Chains A and B, each alone.
Chain A
């Protein structure tokens, strides 16, 4: 089945899918993206302003109408997305719900759902706590992450280095247990109000690790040594975490460059670059966030290699 045989309804479905998905960059999907993103930003601003009591009293009605408007827009968006995702695996018969299920249970789909539906729940059960509702509305900000790859990049980098991260956390865990029990033993007698138990000492330890200063002056000499060692450990742990993150991002950039280079090599293998291949490279470059200079350097290198080989 190809594009010519689609019914008008199917054509409309495909067009909707293209616009909402934004995979094919054209002016309509761009406009749709900007509209939704703008609405999300306005929504978050309204939620923040609404929590100021004076503003809520003065403009509560407008805030309410705005929320009503956004819920309608987001509901239409959600319904359109679910409907249009049926076309994702189109040529395969009976696949309409596969695409839909995939979207509904993807992180984006869940965010779309949970940032909109609580509003209707409130209509059904007016007694619900408003603050909980407000929290759900704040979920709308995650709708923006669809249009920005920063979040995906971060998760990918963390996944690639998950062993290093887990060992850093393990180190934190072990040192938390040991240091807080040590300080409990050494200083617990002298300052029972600050270190009455190991959990209380753990609170002191975490404060020291995150801020460098746990707010307690030790009274004994072993206690002083322990506090100093804990503070140095705080710097070391921060350094380890920073180092792991830095390495993870560097490795990610390298990985992407080598993947891109592979693709370039494949494209150049037959000596001609078709329009389609060029488009593919362009979209890959956009997805990996590679700059034009890097692309030029990679292409230059591959060309030079080819030149020496022949």
Chain B
């Protein structure tokens, strides 16, 4: 029983639950170790620095791998406490974590070192990139990033149609350019895939890496560049409306909760606390909450 409660406490601390003060320190510690690690990987790639501080970087890597390994093992072990025996047992929570995006990141951020020990011939540079994956561990603590993802995800149809438009525009402009310039500059526009690269560069940056030589090519290049501006405008519009839709969704959810709380005319402490938690979760400012309350009050009095 005692070991079970330890497991549960550890799970909550590692999960960042606000019930434990130490969970913030654990989060901070992991963040610092990840940042130090990533800076080390970046600096290590500069040949001069690598020559000078090779041993230091090696030691640092060893100890951070130990740290991340311990973290991973503790996470897997403690998540056994997530579900009681009747709900699927210890391994259900563990499996869930191990195959979640965060679990996979934790795994692949740690593994390369051991891989290197077993297969010393692997390309060092690939290991280095796998080590940089550790930066993704931080995204666990950035809930706003998940918000961003939800906002984008809810508008995925609009994004899909924008991507489709981009695809068509790229192919059309690339093939037109191939026909217009293929003879004049066969090294850049000799095939449609070659022209596709030029089209994407022109659409995204407005600056083509190759100057067209024919009159028709010039017209197509200008039209393609203009298309790039339109694409940027479309994408911006979609993202902006995704954000404001998300905000109004949150406000509506908060308001309906508020109305429920105010329906009986009294606001108990527990209700107040739950509203406050909802406000934190939805990241609403105090002024917004105040406005929602006033509105709820005035609609009630009418």
Taking CB as reference atom, which chain B residue is nearest A302? B298
Contact across chains for A199 and B45 when beta carbons are under 8 A apart: yes
Instruction: For B38, give its contact among A177, A197, A258 (CB under 8 Å).
Output: A177
Contact across chains for A213 and B125 when beta carbons are under 8 A apart: no
Distance of A208 from chain B, by nearest CB (Å): 8
Give chain B interface residues in 226-261, CB to chain A under 8 Å: 231-232, 235-236, 238-244, 247
A164–B285 Cα distance when bound, in Å, is 13
Does chain A have a CB within 8 A of B148?
Answer: yes
Contact across chains for A239 and B232 when beta carbons are under 8 A apart: yes
A217–B41 Cα distance when bound, in Å, is 25
Contact across chains for A178 and B135 when beta carbons are under 8 A apart: yes
Residues of B within 8 A of A231 (CB): 200-201, 204-205
A177–B136 Cα distance when bound, in Å, is 10
A224–B240 Cα distance when bound, in Å, is 30
Question: Which one of A60-68, A112-120, A144-152, A165-173 is at the B interface?
Answer: A165-173
Contact across chains for B135 and A247 when beta carbons are under 8 A apart: no
Contact across chains for A258 and B139 when beta carbons are under 8 A apart: no
Does chain B have a CB within 8 A of A305?
Answer: yes
Contact across chains for B247 and A251 when beta carbons are under 8 A apart: yes
Does chain A have a CB within 8 A of B47?
Answer: yes
A184–B148 Cα distance when bound, in Å, is 28
A247–B41 Cα distance when bound, in Å, is 37
Taking CB as reference atom, which chain B residue is nearest A245? B240
Given A163-B147, A177-B38, A213-B209, answer yes or no on A182-B247 (Cβ-Cβ < 8 Å): no
Interface residues of chain A: helix, strand, loop or mixed (majority): helix
Given A239-B239, A240-B239, answer yes or no on A177-B132 (Cβ-Cβ < 8 Å): yes
Distance of A240 from chain B, by nearest CB (Å): 5
Question: Which one of B41, B135, B290 has the highest number of Cβ atoms from chain A below 10 Å of its Cβ?
Answer: B135
Given A198-B41, A199-B45, answer yes or no on A242-B201 (Cβ-Cβ < 8 Å): no
Contact across chains for A213 and B205 when beta carbons are under 8 A apart: yes
Instruction: For B148, give its contact among A168, A177, A262, A309 (CB under 8 Å).
Output: A168
Interface size on A, residues (CB 8 A): 52
Contact across chains for A167 and B302 when beta carbons are under 8 A apart: no
A215–B29 Cα distance when bound, in Å, is 39
Contact across chains for A243 and B201 when beta carbons are under 8 A apart: no
Binding site for A on B (CB under 8 A): 38, 41-43, 45-47, 125-126, 128-129, 132-133, 135-136, 138-139, 142-145, 147-148, 197, 200-201, 204-207, 209, 231-232, 235-236, 238-244, 247, 283, 285, 287-288, 290-291, 294-295, 298, 301-302
Sort A-B residue pairs by CB-CB distance and give the 9 closest, nearest first: A212-B205, A243-B239, A167-B144, A231-B204, A243-B240, A213-B205, A163-B144, A258-B291, A198-B45
**30 contacts across the A-B interface (CB closer than 8 A):** A164-B148, A167-B142, A167-B145, A167-B147, A170-B139, A171-B145, A177-B132, A181-B42, A181-B128, A184-B45, A197-B46, A197-B47, A212-B204, A213-B209, A228-B201, A234-B205, A235-B204, A236-B239, A239-B235, A239-B239, A240-B148, A242-B239, A242-B240, A246-B244, A250-B244, A258-B287, A258-B291, A259-B291, A262-B291, A305-B302
